[in-house]
Amino acid sequence: MNMQRAASFRGPPVVALCGGVGGAKLALGLERLIGADLTVIVNTGDDFEHLGLHVSPDIDTVVYTLGGLSDLERGWGRADESWNFMEALGALGGETWFRLGDRDLAMHVERSRALRSGISLTEFTVATARRLGIAASILPMSDDRVETMVITAEGALPFQRYFVGLQCAPVVKRLEFSNAERAAATSQVLAALRNPDLAAIIICPSNPYLSVDPILAVSDIRRALDEVTAPIIAVSPLIGGQAVKGPTAKIMAELGVPADSASIARHYRFIDGLIIDETDRAEAGKIDMPVRVTSTLMRSLGDRDRLAADCLEFASHLAAGAQRRTAT
Ligand code: FO1
């Protein structure tokens, strides 16, 4: 094939809904597979004002991961990081419970400056991703502020106080996403979800309660999802009743929900299919929707690519089945 044509060839668009670390791994696999045909809609319920700066942890995790800048060990922040700012801040008696690396700090300073000058979070994120050579579109779920509040046995806690400050120790009673009902989805998010050529919507293996629910709580997004005809699939974040990283299983236990794939399927009752890990193969029969069993553990780059390909294949299989049902 002519190389110029190959470079500009576009396939059907795909949307991924994504939180932080786990979700970003699959988003990277998808981006490597379909490049500019991918739009990643990212949770901003974790965003907060810290040290006078606007911090968007999940957006940054996705941007750093797709931009090849992320720290693979830590999962968040940048590789080759140094911590001089934190040390100097600590010496002055400043707040150091939430660590901002020197390189990462540049992102928060520049984003805060942009927002103060009237540039939207979407405009800043799209421009930054382009500058870092990322082919996919990375979009915040909304430009309006939505704040995830963790209602715990010890009271209501802003997300990062719960997650980083208290290391997820307090017992979760429920979650609230303040302003989600009123927050508007951006025109870019709605255009991606309403694209008539859409091949699939993929809910990444992020924490359903902390990372995906805030996206689904935005009324405009929920309504748009109700109207899509493309298959919506999710990848379960659980393997053998545990999340690879983070407090998903702990939160499920605290909410009185069994930490298994059937619970994930019930949680996302509007989806058309669920991908589960082969460790949980025996659970497939208990799930009341189409299930694809594969390896969902993403250690290597190859794992990310393979799971991304499995997602696209599963979605196209579901779409073909739906077409056959419509035709008969
Ligand atoms: N996570 C931590 O566990 N400790 C931190 O000090 C921390 C700082 C931090 C700074 C910037 C950033 O983009 C992310 C950061 N994270 C930190 C990760 C973040 O709190 C969570 O991973 C997400 O909000 C949950 O998806």
Residue 300: CB atoms within 10 Å? 9
- pLDDT tens per residue, range 190-207: 999 999 999 999 999 999
Q: Is the pLDDT of residue 143 over 80?
A: yes
Determine whether the shortest distance from the Cβ of 71 to ligand 1 is under 6 A: no
- Which residues lie below 8 Å from residue 156, measured CB to CB, with a gap of 6+? 149, 150, 176
Q: What is the mean pLDDT of the chain?
A: 94
* Whole-prediction pTM: 0.95
Q: Is the pLDDT of residue 311 over 80?
A: yes
Query: Which atom of ligand 1 sits closest to the CA of residue 211?
Result: 26
Q: Could you tell me the residue ranges of all domains in the chain?
A: 3-52+121-327
For range 173-193, the mean pLDDT:
96
CB 109 within 8 A of CB 53: yes
Determine whether the shortest distance from the Cβ of 162 to ligand 1 is under 6 A: no
For range 229-248, the mean pLDDT:
94
Q: Is the pLDDT of residue 248 over 80?
A: yes
Going by alpha carbons, the residue nearest to atom 1 of ligand 1 is 164
Q: How confident is the model at residue 152 (pLDDT cuts 50, 70, 90)?
A: very high
Report CA(61)–ligand 1 centroid distance (Å).
Answer: 9
Task: Give the mutation target among 65, 76, 138 for probing the ligand 1 site: most ligand atoms within 8 A of CB.
Answer: 76
- pLDDT tens per residue, range 210-219: 999 999 999 9
For range 156-171, the mean pLDDT:
97
Task: Give the mutation target among 50, 65, 147, 164 for probing the ligand 1 site: most ligand atoms within 8 A of CB.
Answer: 164
Q: Give the CATH superfamily of 3-52+121-327.
A: CofD-like domains (3.40.50.10680)
The whole-angstrom separation of Cα 126 and Cα 40 is 11
Determine whether the shortest distance from the Cβ of 99 to ligand 1 is under 6 A: yes
Determine whether the shortest distance from the Cβ of 57 to ligand 1 is under 6 A: yes
Q: Is the pLDDT of residue 325 over 90?
A: no
Q: How confident is the model at residue 20 (pLDDT cuts 50, 70, 90)?
A: confident
- Which residue carries 């786990």 as its tokens? 22
For range 129-138, the mean pLDDT:
98
Q: How confident is the model at residue 37 (pLDDT cuts 50, 70, 90)?
A: very high
Q: Which residues pair with 70 in a beta bridge?
A: 78
Query: Which atom of ligand 1 sits closest to the CA of residue 97?
Result: 6
Q: How confident is the model at residue 322 (pLDDT cuts 50, 70, 90)?
A: confident
The whole-angstrom separation of Cα 21 and Cα 74 is 9
- Which residue carries 């006078």 as its tokens? 52
CB 229 within 8 A of CB 257: no
**Hey, what are 207's tokens?**
């924490």
Percent of the chain topping pLDDT 90: 90
Going by alpha carbons, the residue nearest to atom 12 of ligand 1 is 57
User: Worst-scoring range by mean pLDDT, 3-17, 94-108, 246-260?
Assistant: 3-17
Q: Is the pLDDT of residue 38 over 50?
A: yes
Determine whether the shortest distance from the Cβ of 100 to ligand 1 is under 6 A: yes
Determine whether the shortest distance from the Cβ of 32 to ligand 1 is under 6 A: no
Determine whether the shortest distance from the Cβ of 164 to ligand 1 is under 6 A: yes
Q: Is the pLDDT of residue 117 over 80?
A: yes
**Hey, what are 42's tokens?**
């990212």
Q: How confident is the model at residue 327 (pLDDT cuts 50, 70, 90)?
A: low
Report CA(212)–ligand 1 centroid distance (Å).
Answer: 16
The whole-angstrom separation of Cα 204 and Cα 19 is 8
Q: Is the pLDDT of residue 27 over 50?
A: yes
The whole-angstrom separation of Cα 216 and Cα 193 is 13
Phi–psi pair at 185, nearest 5 degrees: -75, 145
Q: If phi over 0 gives left and psi between -120 and 50 gives alpha, with beta otherwise, what is residue 78?
A: beta
The pLDDT of residue 2: 35
The whole-angstrom separation of Cα 257 and Cα 249 is 9
Q: Is the pLDDT of residue 159 over 60?
A: yes
Q: Determine the distance from the C-alpha atom of residue 121 to the mean position of all C-alpha atoms in its chain, rounded to a whole number.
A: 16
CB 154 within 8 A of CB 172: no
